[in-house]
Amino acid sequence: MNLKKILILIVILLNCYIVGLIFAQDNSQASDLQKKINEYQTKLSELRQQKNTLSSQIQYMDTQIYLTNLQVQDTEQKITSTTKEIDILGTRIEGLDESLNYISKLLLNKIVEGYKQRSVSLFSLLFDSQNADDLLAKIKYVKTTRDNNQRLIVQVQQAKSNFEEQKKLREEKKVELDNLKTRLAQQKNDLDNQKVAKQRLLTETQNSEQVYQGLLAKAQAEYAAIQGIVAGAGIETQIREVKKGDVIATVISGASCNSSGTHLHFIVQDGGNVQNPFNYLKDVDHADYSEGDPWSPSGNWDWPVSPAIEYYQGYGETWAVRNTWVGNIYRFHNGIDVFGSSYNVYAVADGTLYRGSYTVGCTLSYAKLVHKDSNTSTLYLHTYTQ
């Protein structure tokens, strides 16, 4: 075997050995970190089952912050490990490329040599040989040459296959690296928002258990009212027929019954079942105050408030549900919380307008629009109907 070829193979083998050492160490560190993550995820779940007090909530938020820190470290380790893999794969690909070029050139030379000897036949070997031993030696040489050429062809095919596989693997690792970087940015954003949420809770409650229990009671009343309204248990009075775009209500300014601040809680129902409003609303300019809830409008409805939209909470299992005390009240947000450039609320379709209210301690007022020729209705909570 040619010295250059031997050196190339040695480099490839050394790369494989180094990769094994690096990843054995990385995997050990990742395993220890994953054990901690699992431990704190269990602890977080246990804390959620405790009695809901301010001290337990602060402990929950501290644990969540620590867990997110661990997840950031885990993702950073994976980014480092994946970057190493990509670099080593690059070196390996270069080695395979050189090996493939060398073997291909060697094969080409053998093919040329074989082409020059293409006229060699058994008869020519017989007549050119001085004796039987000479004949057998020449026949053996021809057979050996052909066998070597066949082995070279197989080596070229294997080298080419390995080369393509390593290139594909490197591209997959690059995609994985991009996804990890996106995840890391989200985790760091979550971590910042979790710290802000903890400080906000301490400020709002002034570290008072009594104030905290008041917040909980208010949130529980709002949740009960919303569930009752969605179930059709609100007191509703038919007002008039309206057209799409008509002003139908006004958002209540400031704190109101079961609401800590100015916003519209917008709900879409189809056949009585709540739906994701983003499936119906068109995309518009917005400012995100939700700490990262998905913004994914994909419909064609105009918005019930004027853009630009102030976006406070999304639909489903929101960031607030996962990370703040509201997760002790509900696990699923059945609408979206928004505000616009004015207090006006607009009909998203033609239909029949109703004024509604639901009382739990205080009276939560809302507007309801039953869409014309449709099983769809929309609810506009924390508003005065016009």
Q: What is the pLDDT of residue 306?
A: 96
- Taken as a whole, the chain contains a residue count of 386
Rounded distance between C-alpha atoms, residue 2 and residue 362, angstroms: 90
The encoded tokens of residue 350 equal 């033609």
How do beta strands 309-313 and 351-360 pair? unpaired
| 349's tokens | 């379709």
Q: Pairing relation of β-strands 309-313 and 286-288? A: parallel
Q: How far apart are CA 180 and CA 165, in angstroms?
A: 22
CA atoms within a 13 Å half-sphere pointing along the CA-CB vector of 77: 18
Low-confidence ranges of the chain (pLDDT < 50): 115-116, 118-119, 121-122, 125-126, 129, 131-132, 134-135, 138
Cβ-Cβ contacts under 8 Å for 170 (sequence gap 6 or more)? 86, 89, 90, 93
Q: Cis before residue 308, ω within 30 degrees of 0?
A: yes
Residue found by looking up tokens 């696990």 in the block: 331
Identify the three-state secondary structure at position 253.
coil
* pLDDT the model gives residue 328: 83
Residue 285 · residue 310 · CB < 8 Å = no
- The confidence score (pLDDT) of residue 24 equals 55
Q: What per-residue confidence (pLDDT) applies to 160?
A: 61
Name, in order, each residue with C-beta under 8 angstroms of 175's C-beta and a sequence gap of 6 or more: none
Q: Which pTM was predicted?
A: 0.68
SS (H, E, C) 310-326: EEEECCECCHHHHHCHH
User: What does the alpha-carbon distance between residue 135 and residue 122 come to, in Å, rounded to a whole number?
Assistant: 9
Q: Distance (Å, rounded) from C-alpha 201 to C-alpha 74? A: 28
Query: H/E element holding 128?
Result: helix 122-128
Phi/psi at 263 (nearest 5 deg)?
A: -170, 160
- What is the Cα 280 distance to its own chain's centre? 23
Q: Confirm if 332 and 342 have CB atoms less than 8 A apart.
A: no
Residue 315, sorted as left (phi over 0), alpha (psi -120 to 50) or beta, turns out to be beta
The residue ranges of DSSP E strands in the chain, in sequence order, are 235-242, 247-251, 264-270, 273-275, 286-288, 309-313, 336-339, 344-346, 351-360, 362-371, 376-381, 383-385
Full set of structural domains in the chain with CATH: 3-204 (1.10.287), 236-385 (no CATH)
Burial degree of 46 (CB within 10 A; 0-12, 13-18, 19+): exposed
Q: Note the pLDDT of residue 135.
A: 44
Strand partners, 365: 357
Q: State the pLDDT at residue 125.
A: 46
Looking at residue 118, its amino acid is R
Residue from 44, 98, 96, 53 nearest 71 by CA: 44
